[in-house]
Amino acid sequence: MKSPPEGPPSSGSSGSRAPPSHTGPLSIRGPGVTSGHTGSLQTRVPGALSSNVGAPSSVRPGPPSFRGGSTQPTRLGVVGITDRIEGVLAQFLSPAVRKSVIDCGVRQARVDRDSMREADLRRLLVEVKRGVQLFVRDQVQLERCVSQLNELDYAAPAPREILIDVRTEEDVLRARSAGRELCIEQMVSDVLLTKIVTAISELGRNIVRYAGSGEITVRTTASPQRAIEICAKDQGPGITNLPEILSGRYRSRHGMGAGLRGTKALMDDFDIQTGPGKGTMVTVRKFLG
Amino acid sequence: MIQASRVPIVGLFGNLIVSVQGGLTDGQVEQLREDVTGSIESRSPRGLIVDLSGVEILDSYLTRAIRDIALTARLMGVRTAVCGLRPAVAIALVEMDLEIPGVVTALNLERAVEMLAPVDEDELPDELVNEVPNEEPS
């Protein structure tokens, strides 16, 4: 067991001696606190104000030139997003109506104005759009309004990338939750989410079983289409009978072979580079909406 | 290393019920296979129900493992019902062309229990059927 990084001493453990001057409860902010379980996933949103100072090296921000041309969206964080929505609505709705549309949206989406996350924002926008449809009668105006709201939406989910070192089955489970987390942030439907997480599981198991170790990267991409991309890479022995496996004629001792084939069937894009002694890299993509 | 927790196996109405929750490592699945066959031997159940409503995904390995468990149970004389597949999981299974042969499937746990119960009145001994009060107004 690794000892936890610096942070508030956990109550009851050795030598938790609160400074006498502190009357209030210990602040529970700061690095290390969120890592409740060992090996928790550390992720980072590139371009965001990173409070995650002690992020391990296994996490990389997304490639800098991710969005062709456009600079990283300035993420004001939470503040101001309802103001920005109101700014859009101001062109179409009277003050009283737009206020109630936003308030209603906040309630319906069950978001907290003070601590909104990406997924919250997307939910909020969905609700606001629903409200707008009720009040903006003119079709052309409505389309303009919705498309402007969509711009706020696209600015929201910054490209994300999570990298997991895979050595054991537990790592595969971690990779699965990473994929799930990313999907939820991207408002991916349950069916797509299930397919994506299944693919991660198959690719992860192949790494553990046939290569011993490797890594899985789950990332969002914006071009050419919004997609979730999974890249599984290892330096293992490589696959010698790839056509056979993908055709379904092959069955391994574990009844596998279904893994790669199944992954290919579940995903929209499937690319594999492998060869004897050259390791294996599988890149798959699932397009979103 | 954290000792991986086992999947609980409970008895209900003469059936064994295995409720798989969340993600399992391959090791846990392997353990489950042993535990199930062990429980079948020691508790001689009428049927085996594998409840998958808490499973987030079914990949090729887990599918295969469930198939193996069902086939083993059948060899031992116990019928298996699989129940509670989430819609998304079922869709993914179909797309991957994976099947679980040799088992009946049920919408939920309740239906699965019904399926495995020896209900048919024709199959019951006559004296038992006659004892059932029939109060239908005619």
pLDDT digits (tens, 9 = 90+) for A112-158: 777 777 677 778 888 888 888 888 888 888 888 888 887 776 555 56
pLDDT over threshold 50, residue A68: no
One digit per residue, the tens of pLDDT, for chain B of length 138 reads 445 588 999 998 899 999 998 888 888 999 999 999 999 999 999 999 999 999 999 999 999 899 999 999 999 999 999 999 999 999 999 999 888 887 889 999 999 999 888 765 555 555 545 444 555 554
List the single residue in B64, B92, B97 with the smallest CB-CB distance to A195: B92
Higher-pLDDT residue of A216, A62: A216
- For residue A163, give both structure tokens: 């990298």
Any B CB within 8 A of A264 CB: no
Residue B94: what pLDDT?
93
Sequence-ordered list of residues with C-beta below 8 angstroms from that of A136, at least 6 positions apart, any chain: A92, A93, A142, A145
Flag if A258 and B64 touch (Cβ within 8 Å): yes
Phi and psi at A35, nearest 5°, equal -80, 70
Pick from A275, A274, A269: nearest CA to A283: A269
Rounded Cα distance between B68 and A109, Å, is 44
Q: Which one-letter DSSP state was computed for residue A207?
A: I
Instruction: Determine if residue A39 is left, alpha or beta; phi over 0 gives left, psi from -120 to 50 gives alpha, anything else beta.
Output: left
Flag if A172 and B25 touch (Cβ within 8 Å): yes
Any B CB within 8 A of A262 CB: yes
Q: Which residue has the tokens 């996933």?
A: A41
Residue B31: what pLDDT?
93
Is the separation of the CB atoms in B66 and B100 below 8 Å?
yes
Chain B residues lying within 8 Å of A173, measured CB to CB: 23, 25
- H-assigned helices in A109-257: 118-135, 139-155, 169-185, 190-206, 242-247
Rounded Cα distance between B71 and B50, Å, is 13
Any A CB within 8 A of B99 CB: no
Per-residue b or e along A157-187, where b marks 16 or more CB atoms closer than 10 Å to that residue's CB: bbbbbbbbebebbbbbbbbbbbbbbbbebbb
Residue B112, domain CATH: 3.30.750.24
- Which residue range forms the structural domain that includes residue B61? 9-131
The domain ranges of chain A are: 81-155, 161-287
Any B CB within 8 A of A201 CB: yes
How far is B103 from chain A, CA to nearest CA, in Å? 18
How many domains, chain B? 1
First and final C-alpha spacing in chain A: 43
Flag if A173 and B27 touch (Cβ within 8 Å): no
How far is B2 from chain A, CA to nearest CA, in Å? 9
Any B CB within 8 A of A180 CB: yes
Chain B residues lying within 8 Å of A265, measured CB to CB: 95-97
Chain B residues lying within 8 Å of A190, measured CB to CB: 86-88
Topology (CATH) of A161-287:
Heat Shock Protein 90 (3.30.565)
Residue A83: what pLDDT?
83
Flag if B57 and A176 touch (Cβ within 8 Å): yes
List the single residue in A176, A191, A265 with the smallest CB-CB distance to B23: A176
**Which of the four pLDDT bands, split at 50, 70 and 90, describes residue A13?**
very low
ipTM of this predicted complex?
0.82
Which residue(s) pair with B50 in the sheet? B18, B82
